[in-house]
């Protein structure tokens, strides 16, 4: 958080640019820069934790209420590989949504999977997630080196 404060007070901070670059490299794909910018803002800004939309949480709550028996939890508990765990959670959620006729948009599904894979992380809900993404993308648009104008994103 102190690096974000330094950035807000004095301008670009090399350590934040490096973190953003490393995250983008690890994420990969067409939206890696925007995702990395978002993660840096989430990690350096308040409140503590990661934002989860109400839609993502609602999807997960409905799934949990509907899934009967311990099969899902038992299957998930025996897997150590994160990529395999992600595939399993995504398969269960996707299959459940299709079988119940639940509208599971890609964003809500991705959030529900992330919550399931990292249950111990602090989270907070926000209906303003889409607005926050737009703000972050606007603040970092085209600046692959992590620079931005001071004061654009809290």
pLDDT in tens, 98-136: 999 998 888 889 889 989 988 888 888 876 555 555 555
The SS3 of residue 128 is coil
Residue 7: φ, ψ to 5°: -60, -45
DSSP 105: -
* pTM for the predicted model, two decimal places: 0.61
Q: What is the pLDDT of residue 94?
A: 94
Q: What is the pLDDT of residue 128?
A: 59
**What token pair was written down for 138?**
């606007």
β-strands 50-52, 123-125 pairing: parallel
The SS3 of residue 69 is coil
Mean pLDDT value of segment 73-101: 93
**How many whole angstroms from its chain centre is CA 154?**
18
Alpha helices per DSSP H over the chain: 2-10, 14-27, 32-44, 54-66, 71-77, 82-100, 106-117, 129-140
**Residues 10-13: contacts with CB within 8 Å, 24+ apart?**
10/150, 11/147, 11/150, 12/145, 12/146, 12/147, 12/148
């Amino acid at each position: 958080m102190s690096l974000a404060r330094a950035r807000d007070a004095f301008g670009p901070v090399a350590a934040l640019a490096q973190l953003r670059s490393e995250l983008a490299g690890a994420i990969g794909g067409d939206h890696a820069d925007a995702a990395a910018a978002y993660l840096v803002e989430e990690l350096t800004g308040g409140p503590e934790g990661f934002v989860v939309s109400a839609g993502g949480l609602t999807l997960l709550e409905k799934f949990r209420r509907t899934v009967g028996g311990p099969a899902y939890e038992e299957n998930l508990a025996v897997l150590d590989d994160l990529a395999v765990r992600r595939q399993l959670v995504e398969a269960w959620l996707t299959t459940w949504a299709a079988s119940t006729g639940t509208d599971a948009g890609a964003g809500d599904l991705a959030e529900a999977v992330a919550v399931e894979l990292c249950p111990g992380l602090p989270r907070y809900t926000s209906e303003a997630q889409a607005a926050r993404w737009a703000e972050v993308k606007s603040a970092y648009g085209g600046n692959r080196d992590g620079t931005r104008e001071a004061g654009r994103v809290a």
